[in-house]
Amino acid sequence: MIEAMPAAPILSVRNLSVDARTPEGRKPVLKDISFDLASGETLCLAGESGSGKSVTSLSIMGLLPKASLQVASGSIMLGERDLLKLSERAMRGVRGADIAMVFQEPMTSLNPVMSIGAQLMEAIREHQGGENAEAIALQMLDAVQIVDPTKRLKQYPHELSGGMRQRVMIAMALSCRPKVLIADEPTTALDVTVQAQILKLMRELKSEFGTSIVLITHDMGVVAEMADRVIIMQDGSIVEEGPAVTIFRAPRQNYTQQLLSAVPRLGAFAGTDGPPSITSRGVETLQDRAPVLNVRGLNVTYGGAASFLFKGKAPPAAVIDVSFDILPGETLGLVGESGSGKSTTGKAVLGLIPFTGDVVINGRNIAGLSHREMRPVRRTAQMIFQDPYASLDPRMSVGAAIAEPLVIHGIAAKSERQDRIAELLRRVGLTPDAATRYPHEFSGGQRQRICIARALALKPKLIVADESVAALDVSVRARVLDLMLELQESMGLSYLFISHDMAVVERMSHKVAVMRGGRIVETGTRRQIFERPADDYTKALMAAVPVPDPEARRAQF
């Protein structure tokens, strides 16, 4: 009996190398990588930022920026065609029709001045003609489970939620029935519940349309949910490759083991009351100390520049009657989906936006205080934002950025500031010579450490951390969280830790408040919320957390 020959791969990458042009000459970015994508397969490229995942996808799509990156060698075969040898005109015919791509941030991928329908139909007409473009657009919006697709065709990107915009991008990518779909971090910016919906949708569409998927991510939980096969990348090279179950159950390489060990796992802290705090040093119990933050009846409504959106009607409330306390050395985790009011609450408690109610920081009620009156309060309370690059002035050196709060508040003489800056940099795990460099010279994790150093400059008692690790790779995230816990224990810091990642909140928090629709729907100790949740919404948030085990997750689909 003659055995059947294995099916030829739909996409084959062989010995692909890409160089970056630098003032010092060419620098390798991708180093001789090879892999195949089978028909109907989901292949995950996983690794930290800078590992070469996105460069690989841009090489396949023929979208490398010619001024800075150049293919040095190799081939990318789509059937019998080598994509690297096609002209730009020929590649325009491949993109969309044969290979489509979904990018990480849908808002920057969609044209803000074109309706959703116009953008969908533009892609359809490019490859299929315009005769049935509207009907196909409606069919695709329905396929990605967007409610009332006829209405959505007339809307603009800003009128849709992040999850809906990502569904539109997937609909656009699949509208021409491509053989290969490349999804580059398609759920990184999404809440955990929306992420679960998008991943489930991609699996269903793969089955319906027979599309092969290359999924690029640094989230090993997402890899476990989606991958048939996994490629682990580091510094432009493939370090390990194999079936998803094998990679998760028996990783061979140290780097793969480190990635997996850094994944926060829901339930890993069951039976504990939370991370160490100042109580671990023998200071009086937290319950015997006055709160560093006391919030009572906090309300925030949309207004100002956004008022015109409501056409004369009363603007809706963003935060409704929120109350909580944070004790010295304690972390309150504030969780919920986008639009739940988490970030608005964080900004309000620092007086960054107007509010009504009472917010008492270190014994002083900041309600109604002017900007000038708030200045001494800001020495007590600081904020760490989600995007460290956007938080730092690219024209200021790191040393100047850290010194700025000291200068504003007139703390320490100029000669003393250099010593303070060096001390702060060492405290967050950086060397003092980092002070002379600029933000673009550091990785994302290092930039977040710089933001933490800047927040610590005034020796605050309270830090509001708003999605402060959401944009970081899993291993970098683990190191930054370790740093924050270490600083809390050594300095007695209190945190309002805002996040949509339940596993991270479980690791960081002593108490947890769950927000939905501007209200706190459930609050309690870490153990109460994670081991005995009472509200159905809290249960749904936890059920949506990706499980870093392919076999366990597959059973739930």
> pLDDT digit string (tens) for 509-553?
999 999 998 999 999 999 999 999 999 999 988 888 887 878 775
**pTM (2 decimals)?**
0.78
SS3 of 507-550: the string is: HHCCEEEEEECCEEEEEEEHHHHHHCCCCHHHHHHHHCCCCCCH
pLDDT of 279: 47
For residue range 442-476, what is the model confidence (pLDDT) as tens digits?
877 788 889 999 999 988 999 999 888 876 777 77
Lowest mean pLDDT among 218-232, 279-293, 489-503, 535-549: 279-293
Instruction: Give the pLDDT confidence of 367-409 residue by residue, as tens digits.
Output: 999 988 998 898 899 999 877 777 889 899 999 999 999 888 8
Strand intervals (E) in 178-225:
180-184, 212-217
pLDDT score at 529: 94
> Phi/psi of residue 12, each to 5°?
-135, 120
Report whether 532 contacts 546 (CB < 8 A). Answer: no
Instruction: Provide mean pLDDT across the span 245-255.
Output: 93
Question: In the predicted model, is pLDDT for residue 21 greater than 50?
Answer: yes
Q: At what angle do helices 133-143 and 116-128 cross, to 10 degrees?
A: 120
pLDDT of residue 74: 96
- Closest of 407, 385, 386 to residue 396, by C-alpha: 407
What is the average pLDDT across 359-365? 94
Query: Which pLDDT band, with edges at 50, 70 and 90, does 316 fall under?
Result: low
Stretch 129-146: mean pLDDT? 84
At 557, the amino acid letter reads: F
- Enclosing H/E stretch for 33: strand 25-37
pLDDT at 269 over 70: yes
67 compared with 299, residue with greater pLDDT: 299
pLDDT, residue 288, reads 59
59-83 pLDDT tens trace: 999 999 888 889 999 999 998 999 9
- The distance from CA 515 to its chain's CA centroid, rounded to whole angstroms, is 19
Mean pLDDT estimate for the chain: 86
pLDDT in tens, 139-172: 888 888 788 889 989 999 888 876 788 888 888 8
- pLDDT exceeds 80 at position 129: no
Helices (H), 371-518: 371-378, 388-391, 398-408, 414-427, 444-456, 474-491, 502-508
Please tell me whether residue 264 adopts helix, strand or coil conformation: coil
Looking at residue 229, its pLDDT comes to: 96
Give me the pLDDT at residue 522, please.
Answer: 96
Closest of 4, 10, 6, 8 to residue 210, by C-alpha: 10
